[in-house]
Amino acid sequence: MEKKARIYVAGHRGMVGSAIVRKLHAEGYENIITRTSSQLDLRNQAAVASFFAEEKPDFVFLAAAKVGGIMANNIYRAEFLYDNLLIESNIIHSAYETGVTKLLFLGSSCIYPKMAPQPLKEEYLLSGFLEPTNEPYAIAKITGIKLCEAYRSQYGCNFISAMPTNLYGPNDNYDLQGSHVLPALIRKFHEAKINDQPSVEVWGTGSPKREFLHADDLADACFYLMEHYNDELFVNIGTGEDVTIRELAEMVKETVGFEGELRWNTDKPDGTPRKLMDVSRLHAMGWKHTTELREGIERTYQDFLANEVLYVE
């Protein structure tokens, strides 16, 4: 990408999009195009088409999506499917119509079958049944991959896809019903510490395993792929290492300095037992993450403390 290139980051206010914008600024890019959701409703086909026709971006990072943790995915099943299908279809089609040079679509590790062998290789896509709690979101993300493949094979568009593992970092969602596990635990342990509570509720059994990647590492990988990768096959992005939810809870508890007990609420779902990414393709290309989980949790807790007023309304 030339430094003068016009780059549209869709979803720039979210955790992933804001990390991509930080990365682009750090690399010296200045022509970064953004729109808030009130300025441009990405579910509106006509609005997206005229935005692309007017702005004519050269490159697109498609980081806009309706996202959330296990409960949000399970409750708002219609929106997770409908909104995400509209957002990605409108952007990908408009990118084709206006001759975008290259587009990167971001999916999720939940596209893989619930019982797929571990670690998850890219070729396991569509080899089995999905995890029920996030099936609508996964179907939307699989559709995004297939849209990129279809526009590439039919029209020769350079549209690539990447599948990040579970993410965390600045600008995460700290709403306890809608958030992912890591921000939820930071907030719960912090509030329990401040309020001298004897225990904190943690969902499920604690036995599921998850892999966590810092959003800044993800942004770095996205930039790397935009610069170096031009193939149809999508690429996993992760660390290649996972921990149990119990281990994660202990790490967050220690970082925050909460000294009480954990209460496991097994009425809440566990979700997929494990989703560890096989990152050998990405490693073979020469990219590896730099933030280890403990350090990342520490940084994220500091960010939470600095922005608590914004994050917790």
Q: Would you please indicate which residues are annotated as catalytic (active-site) residues?
A: 137
141 annotated to a ligand binding site: yes
Bridge partners of 277?
Answer: 120
DSSP result, 235-271: EEES-S--EEHHHHHHHHHHHHT--SEEEEETTS---
Distance CA 166, CA 168 (A): 7
**Residue 14 found at the interface with ligand GFB (CB under 6 A):** no
Provide CB contacts within 8 A for 170, sequence distance 6+: 15, 18, 19, 215, 300, 303, 307
17 annotated to a ligand binding site: yes
Q: Which residue has the tokens 């896509």?
A: 125
In degrees and rounded to multiples of 5, residue 239 shows phi and psi of -100, -20
Beta strands of 176-309 (E only): which ranges?
199-203, 209-210, 212-214, 235-237, 243-244, 261-265
Total residues in contact with ligand GFB, by rule CB under 6 A: 24
User: Least Å distance between CB 146 and ligand GFB?
Assistant: 18
**Could you tell me the two tokens for 306?**
């600095």
Query: What track of x and - describes contact with ligand GFB for positions 96 through 115 (by CB under 6 A)?
Result: ------------x-x-----
**Could you tell me the two tokens for 108?**
């999720």
- 135-155 and 77-97 helices, crossing angle to 10°: 10
210 annotated to a ligand binding site: yes
Nearer to ligand GFB, 27 or 308 (CB): 308
- Part in contact with ligand GFB (CB under 6 A); list of ranges 31-39, 113-121, 196-204, 277-285: 196-204
**Residue 166 found at the interface with ligand GFB (CB under 6 A):** yes
Task: Choose which of 210, 214, 253, 289 interacts with ligand GFB (CB under 6 A).
Answer: 210
Task: Choose which of 65, 157, 181, 252 interacts with ligand GFB (CB under 6 A).
Answer: 181
Q: What is the dihedral of CA 225, 73, 172, 142, to 10 degrees?
A: 10
Task: Choose which of 134, 171, 236, 255 interacts with ligand GFB (CB under 6 A).
Answer: 134
User: Least Å distance between CB 264 and ligand GFB?
Assistant: 8
Binding residues for substrate are 188, 203, 210, 270
Binding residues are 11-17, 106-109, 141, 164-167, 180, 188, 203, 210, 270
- Give the residues lining the site for ligand GFB (CB under 6 A): 69-70, 73, 108, 110, 133-134, 137, 166, 179-181, 184, 202-204, 208, 210, 245, 268-272
